[in-house]
Amino acid sequence: PVREAGEVSRRTYTHEASLYVHWPYCLKRCSYCNFNKYIPRSVDHALMTQSLQKETQTLLHISQVSRITSVFFGGGTPSLAQPSTIAAVLETVSKHAELPTNAEVTLEVNPTPAGKARLRDFVAAGVNRFSVGLQSLNDGNLRMLGRDHNPQQALQTLSEASMLCPGRVSVDVMFGLPDQSEDSWQSELEKVLSVCDDHVSLYQLTLERGTHLFKQVQLGKVHVPGEDVTAAMYKTARNVLKKAGFLQYEVSNFARNNAVSTHNTGYWKARQYIGVGPGAHGRFVPHAQGGLLREARTQTLEPDIWIKEVQQHGHATRRRIQLSHPELLEEVLVMGLRMNEGISHQHWAAFSPEANFHQIYGGSEDFQQLLQRGLLILDDRGLRCSWEGLALLDSILPILLLSLEMFFQKTAGSAAAADRTLGQKET
């Protein structure tokens, strides 16, 4: 399996990758957030820019990637970065790899007056798509979430972004908020759809341990909707978005006029990506270091330490984990089934030439039950969830992963038995 995984890695997308760049700084921490972000007294923009450029160059060299398919500036609040920083990183990419002129370059934007004021400069720097952290158009919800914008500012930012990048603006919207009802959620979503562009990302509020909101709920000061209500909210959202002409192309993402996110689709199709910046994650084969297998890589979290390590070593990769062949296939399965198109037989064969879906799942009664219940579809196109199944993906995946694991255990056992038999014959 290790030899096969190396062969697959070498011939599958190893010449290209997407690039994620993490800007770790924020003006304040939202009540629900546990992301890797920092609220500094001041930011040394020149040093940060130089460090992002240096790590980008180093990781491009380590990966031996010759083409970057898309770039995503996330955070934190990357709209607090100077446009010259964005331009400098993109220039570094272009110097050391091919960055197509039409490559998708996304910047996350906090819809504050400061964020809005810089949008035109970001476009001049090379950004051609915005992801606006709208979250809600309800003033009370925004205050509860600890956001530093109000509905009017959000609408103004959205309008400016849509004018600068028509058809290439996404909005993030949250549901399952404290004291939110199904009816209030539907009316709020419909209001968002009346002003948004062609892409919507839906996120259910998750209570992360250690956050201010988590503590408020634990103390009984704030009440969030139960699982049945949030499931109904999700179903309502899917129907409302469909009625408005949006195609659900992934569990949380909806687009009309084919405005799908190229960058995120790369994640769901298990393509390589390079993560630059404090706490960024990556998945690529480190060819220049003699690597044959794809690695899961994580950069140092704390910005000041990250900067020192980049200055000393050219990069600040804190953790490297080689992905075994079964582990890589698990990622292909988990990510691919998030898409409404699922995983084609051809796509699966690129990673698993030794076993197709029928061979892996043909003997699984649990898998057959998922097919009979209409939650999964396995046909000439490949494997995918039905409309109903996509909403239940979290409960479907453990069944599929267990069957995949059992298949590899059985295969390994058969190979070992064959080796023993061969050894006995030779003796």
What is each CA distance from 94 to 108, 229, 351, in whole angstroms?
Answer: 21, 48, 29
Q: Is the pLDDT confidence value at 201 over 80?
A: yes
The chain-wide mean pLDDT, for the chain, equals: 89
Q: Which amino acid is at 415?
A: A
Length of the chain: 427
Per-residue confidence (pLDDT) for residue 142, from 0 to 100 = 78
- Residue pair 158/111 in contact by the 8 Å Cβ criterion: yes
Lowest mean pLDDT among 120-124, 178-182, 232-236: 178-182
Checking if the pLDDT of 27 tops 80, the result is no
The reported pLDDT for the residue numbered 205 is 80
What is the per-residue pLDDT for 212? 64
Query: Where does the pLDDT of residue 403 fall: very low under 50, low under 70, confident under 90, or very high at 90 and above?
Result: very high
Residue of higher predicted confidence among 24 and 217: 24
| Number of other CB atoms surrounding residue 415 within 10 Å | 11
Q: How far apart are CA 202 and CA 183, in angstroms?
A: 17
Tell me which H or E stretch contains 390.
helix 387-390
Residue 296 has pLDDT above 60, yes or no: yes
- Residue 220 CA to chain centroid, in angstroms? 32
In this prediction, residue 141 has a pLDDT band, given cuts at 50, 70 and 90, of confident
Which residues, including other chains, have CB under 8 Å from residue 416's CB and lie 6 or more apart? none
pLDDT value at residue 135: 86
pLDDT value, residue 211: 63
More confident residue, 226 or 148: 226
417 — pLDDT class (breaks 50, 70, 90): low
Which pLDDT score, from 0 to 100, does residue 12 have?
44
Under the banding of pLDDT at 50, 70 and 90, the label for residue 143 is confident
Contact by Cβ (8 Å): 171, 223? no
Q: Are strands 253-255 and 247-250 parallel, antiparallel or unpaired?
A: antiparallel
pLDDT of residue 20 exceeding 60, the answer is yes
9 vs 275 pLDDT, higher one: 275
Are 421 and 342 in contact by the 8 Å Cβ rule? The answer is no
pLDDT tens per residue, range 316-372: 999 999 999 999 999 999 999 999 999 999 999 999 999 999 999 998 999 999 999
- What pLDDT does residue 262 have? 97
Q: Which conformational region is residue 277 in: left (phi greater than 0), alpha (psi within -120 to 50 degrees), or beta?
A: left
pLDDT of 28 reads: 53
pLDDT at position 288: 94
Task: Tell me which H or E stretch contains 248.
Answer: strand 247-250
Q: Is the pLDDT of residue 5 over 70?
A: no
